[in-house]
Chains A and B, each alone.
Chain A
Amino acid sequence: MSQLLNIEDFTLGFPDRPPLLDSVSLHVNDGEAVALVGESGSGKSLTTRAALGLFPGGSEFSGTVSVQGLDTLTANKQRLMELRRGHASMIFQDPRAGINPVRTVGDFLTETLLRFDGLSRAEATERAVKQLEQVGLRRAKELMDQHPHQLSGGMLQRVMIAAALLNSPDLLLCDEPTTALDVTTQSGIVRLLREEQQSRGMGMLFITHDLNLAASMCERVYVLRRGTVVEHGPTQTVFQMPQQDYTRQLVEATPIIELGEVPAVEASAAPPLLQVSGLSKTYQLPRGDVITALDNAGFSLPEGGSLGVVGESGSGKSTLARLVVALETATVGELTLHGVPRPRRPLKAAERKVLAKDVQIVFQDPYLSLDPRIPVGNAVADVFRLHQRQGRKQAKASAAELLGRVGIGPDRFDARPRALSGGQRQRVALAKALAARPRLLVLDEATSALDVSVQAQVLELVEELRDQFGLTILFVTHDLAVVSRLCSELIVMHQGRIVEQGPTARILEDPGDGYTRNLIASRPRPLWDAEPVTA
């Protein structure tokens, strides 16, 4: 087998700064699927883009990156463009951002064919339609005239794949091609990619942060950390018997469903802290359409319990979370918190303050949810002053103590959020929520934006704090594995409705609803797991 992609001692960086990539070496053979895994900032994307001769402006690099013998570091523009058109294609993370929104799908697909391959419009269209059908899109002819905003994310990613396959490339580079998609959509895309790669005998370099996904796609894997390859080898060996500490941490941090580890439901005689019945939320669109974001939800959460809410985008899970913390007002239905029924109108400021003492929420993106101008210590201290009526000095001391508890040292007290990493920020957000001493903590995808190792730390922290403070937890997420670790009870939502609810262990073991089964089956399985796929 010849080496399709060969990267040797590739170093890339900006002048006067430590290199972003340091002597990276990897290769992909013809017809081989290779994964490149690592956390954010590890240099995965830079490495892959180098294979197409795409480098960040102003960067300096050395080494070799050769694709079919062409060194992209030194090749001239013309050769590079030929490489990109005919031999190597790339699939990007977010098809919504990656396909020009003001041009039609057809235009996107045919632009290179028309411009550089000398095809007539009719020929190019025919070829594009054929390719769209091959990647599993129906009504391909109509799609050609549609604009990206008229297609769903999954369909768009298929369009992106079709575009990448149009010129039958020898090398397919995939940069987190399913990260922006829902779990069930992801499984379809992954299957498609794997099949295309196998049937065409393409070489594939698959970038992902998700070890499970890498295991389900690729025979070999490279683990990248801060710009260096720390370990490589056959996927099964690397994941099952990691040699390096970092890989071991990564493997351990990756959430998986282990039925034995699911927290058991504790029978408690305590009255429910949160009781919801017949809760619905509808939005009236200007043109008369009505969107039902949440439809007739009902459940109860006992004091000290932990409830997971799982669903894909648009399932209404975030609406539910926002209703619980009174960021939204329900259209119909009852919501009783600690015996107090929620009025069906926006809360007054005083009522909100009382509620906030009992219920706190942590949002998905700590980069957006912290005020960038307020030092984190003050941010937490402010909560103590507001809700615990503590004096300035006392609040500061309490904040320092709480931040210490979530692993933010006193030296970080005066730092602004900008100076903290994503994981540290989310811990600050958590501390801010806990400073109110809430009974109920709502986590809205609170770990989704974090790297797996950071996610593991934050989850551990939540578990610890739950036991310490006797918190009741409502955990909203798309990730079944995360929920299985933290929540004893589970709600599965789909298109605004609760399709299944009950003890987490029971639902995972024996899902009663078709959608739940689909959700569980959609989780990527390692290639070496010979289990037949049951959909």
Chain B
Amino acid sequence: MTATDHVQAPAPAQGGAARKRAKDRAVRPTVYILKKLVSLVVTLFVASLAVFFSRFLVPGDPARFLLRGRSPKPEALEEITRQFGLDKPAWEQYLNWLGGILQGDWGRSLTYRQDVSDVLLGRLPTTLQLVALAAVFITVLGLFAGIVASLNKGFGDRFILITLTAAGAVPPFVAAIALVALFSVGLGWFPSFGSGDGGWDRIWHLTLPALALGITYIAMVARVTRSSMNEQLLREHVEVATSRGLTRGSVVARHVLRNALGPILTVSGVLVAGLLVSSAIIERTFGLSGIGQLLVQSIDRLDFAVVQAIVMVVVAAFVLVNTVVDLIQPLIDPRIAAGTESR
């Protein structure tokens, strides 16, 4: 036999099975995506149940709150109760609420006497911009610190690790105060209050809040990046790549970082929830009018419609981001789609 003798073709008996497998391969991604989408919808539905019915566990009658402690005539109370649909059975209220959401109607805010969607839309952009900017800081600084730590064993690694541990232990409001003290009071580089007027001014205003918000997460992402890369660096395929004459940069980018992305992405997805929640504190500290601050106020004032809407938005954002992460994972590591992650 010669060098070109071909590797055995599958026996004819297996031909059918092979064809079936080929068909499976084409179908599998679609099935995978559908499964993820279905689980997204189911999760949102369950979340909506929890969000809506948790209201009934909280003491206090929203209609009474509306009257601000005045002792109302029973008719007036009844009138308000009917006006907000609070007299109907719980399940009917839920269906109305859910139906409304699906049509873009989130109900009326009890305090603002406005549609909830209007209240939200006024505040949402600030929070989204804040979170987006924080996400940029987290990605850039977190990845950078992690990569540098992983590639510089010894002093560099230890220094970054200690810094990260310290940074990870700082609560956002402390970080906020420290950053304000240093950069706006001390150096005067950034403003300490307000959200600016769009464009660069907005980014300029949001820099400190975003940093304060992101600092804990930067530490977490950096740690995951570092350990994930360290694990990959020991893999044989990295040595093979080096032995083939690739530059250090190519090896790190194409074979170490690329393979380390999976865990980094998973952790980042989970962090999103924390970001949205912590933003309430940061918004308060920096006097930004975002949904975080709105949430805190609304809980204070028993403005259930707004609280429900915000919680739903946060839950939806969280579930959506994680679904996207799940959908991206197979592109990063094709073994996940095949369901054979072993070896």
Residues of A at the B interface (CB closer than 8 Å) are 49, 52, 54, 57, 80-86, 89-90, 92-94, 96-103, 111-112, 115-116, 133-138, 147, 149-150, 154-155, 158, 160, 163, 188, 191-192, 195-196, 199, 286-287, 535
Contact = CB atoms under 8 A, between A and B. Distances in A.
Contacts of B236: 92-94, 97-98
Interface of B: 1-7, 9, 24, 153, 235-237, 239-247, 250, 254-255, 258-259, 332-335, 338-340, 343
A137 B4 CA distance: 8
A84 B254 contact: no
Given A136-B6, A155-B7, A188-B7, A112 B237 contact: no
Majority SS at the chain A contact face: helix
A138 B7 contact: yes
Nearest to A96: B343
Contact of B3 (A94, A99, A136): A136
B3 A199 contact: yes
Given A101-B335, A138-B7, A195-B2, A83 B245 contact: yes
A112 B246 CA distance: 7
A103 B254 contact: yes
B79 to A, nearest CB: 58
Nearest to B340: A149
7 contacts: A100-B241, A100-B254, A111-B254, A136-B7, A138-B7, A147-B334, A147-B335
A100 B259 contact: yes
B304 to A, nearest CB: 43
Contacts of B4: 133-134, 136
A96 B254 CA distance: 18
A90 B254 CA distance: 20
Contacts of B250: 111, 115
Contacts of A103: 254-255, 258
Given A97-B237, A134-B4, A112 B244 contact: yes
B3 A196 contact: yes
A102 B334 CA distance: 6
B160 to A, nearest CB: 19
B229 to A, nearest CB: 14
Contacts of B239: 54, 92, 98
A102 B259 contact: yes
A90 B245 CA distance: 11
B235 A191 contact: no
A17 to B, nearest CB: 19
Contacts of A192: 3
Contact of B332 (A102, A191, A196, A287): A102
B268 to A, nearest CB: 18
B244 A163 contact: yes
A535 B334 contact: no
A94 B338 CA distance: 21
A199 B3 CA distance: 10
Contact of A85 (B24, B235, B245, B343): B245
A82 B245 contact: yes
A116 B7 contact: no
Contacts of A154: 7
